[in-house]
Structure 1
Amino acid sequence: MTELAARLRTGYGAGPRHLIVVTAAIVLAGWVALRLAGEATAGRMLLWFLGAVIAHDLVLFPVYATADRMLRAVVRPGTDRRVALLNHVRVPVLASALLFLVFAPGILRLGESTHLAATGQDQRPYLARWLLLSAALFLLSALTYAIRALAGRRQVSPKRSERA
């Protein structure tokens, strides 16, 4: 039995309990989705789910994995650095990208007439607001990084003066 578990861990990447829990969670989520969707729309919902999985796994994941590798190559942490710059770049990029995905029709002005008829408002401000919000996210992250780096330097400098 341990040889089978070792082969599973090598091939799957985790133990058998993990596989059982993940499978049970997927089955439970599918059951809940079918209960919530009802019989009439279950097929359409499954089609959207499969489309989202394919779009993410085959398109979006390779794109943002490649972008993250390029970011890692550009932002190489120094050996002396106490505060990692990488995550202070990743967080606003992720937030900005998610906001773009959610508000893409408004930002790209898709369905302008439908939006105007439904809300009585124009889609022009979406792009400017998204850009301003993205800039604010990057500014907030930069300020957080600067404060953390400054606090890290202050903690390091008394130790160096004690050694001298």
Structure 2
Amino acid sequence: MNAFRARYGASAVHLLLVLCSFALAGYAGVRLLQGDTLGVALWFVGAALLHDLVLLPLYTLTDRLLQLLLRGGPRAARRPGGTVAERINYLRVPAFVSLLLLVVWYPLILNRVPGYTHYTALPAGVFWSRWLLLTAGLFALSALCLLAAVWRTHRSRPRSADDTP
């Protein structure tokens, strides 16, 4: 078994799980393509091109701009709460979750689909405000986590001559 792990790089259970996931993805692909094969293939190619040519450069540029804005001079690397790369995750995670929720639920959030009041038992106008409230909650929770990380780092750090006013 050690020879297998050394050659493959992981355990046999990992290989079994990877093969099962490929089998499941293959089954889903075969079932999906039984209907409108050309439409599904065009949708996948279009989604890949949209992501690679538009969205990837857009969120890479946004991430770089945020890193430049959060970089705070020569003392930034010694700041409690970590480096810029570590601190920016407290913005990345809630932004990602919020945008993912928007992408998944945009017809309801942007009121694009009539008739959902019957299915959801909610008026059509409540989804936008609830998404905004959820987004604000995600960023607030992330800010609390950052404050806790800064506080924990600041408490565990020994006092030095640089810390005195």
Choose which of 81, 84, 87 in structure 2 pairs with 1:83.
81
> Could you tell me whether the CA contact under 8 Å between 1:72 and 1:86 is conserved in 2?
yes
* TM superposition shift of 1:75: 1.0
* Separation (CA, whole Å) in 1 of partners of 2:97 and 2:79: 25
* Separation (CA, whole Å) in 1 of partners of 2:49 and 2:124: 29
The residue identity in structure 2 corresponding to 1:48 is W
Q: What TM-score results when the alignment is normalised by the length of structure 1?
A: 0.70
Aligned length: 138
> Could you tell me whether the CA contact under 8 Å between 2:110 and 2:128 is conserved in 1?
yes
The residue identity in structure 1 corresponding to 2:59 is Y
Choose which of 64, 74, 84 in structure 1 pairs with 2:59.
64
Provide structure 2 residue ranges, at least 5 long, that are not aligned to the other structure: 1-21
Higher helix share: 1
Deviations 1:61-102 (A, max 9, x none): 121111111111111160212423211111111111111111
* TM superposition shift of 1:118: 5.1
Deviations 1:13-59 (A, max 9, x none): xxxxxxxxxxxxxx978744442225333322212211211221122
Q: What TM-score results when the alignment is normalised by the length of structure 2?
A: 0.70
User: What residue is the counterpart of 2:4 in the other structure?
Assistant: none
Counterpart secondary structure, 1:143: helix
CA RMSD across the alignment = 3.0
User: What residue is the counterpart of 1:105 in the other structure?
Assistant: 107
* Separation (CA, whole Å) in 2 of partners of 1:96 and 1:136: 10
Aligned identity (percent) is 32
* Separation (CA, whole Å) in 2 of partners of 1:147 and 1:137: 15
* TM superposition shift of 1:129: 0.6
Relative CO higher for 1 or 2, CA cutoff 8 Å, sep ≥ 6?
Answer: 2
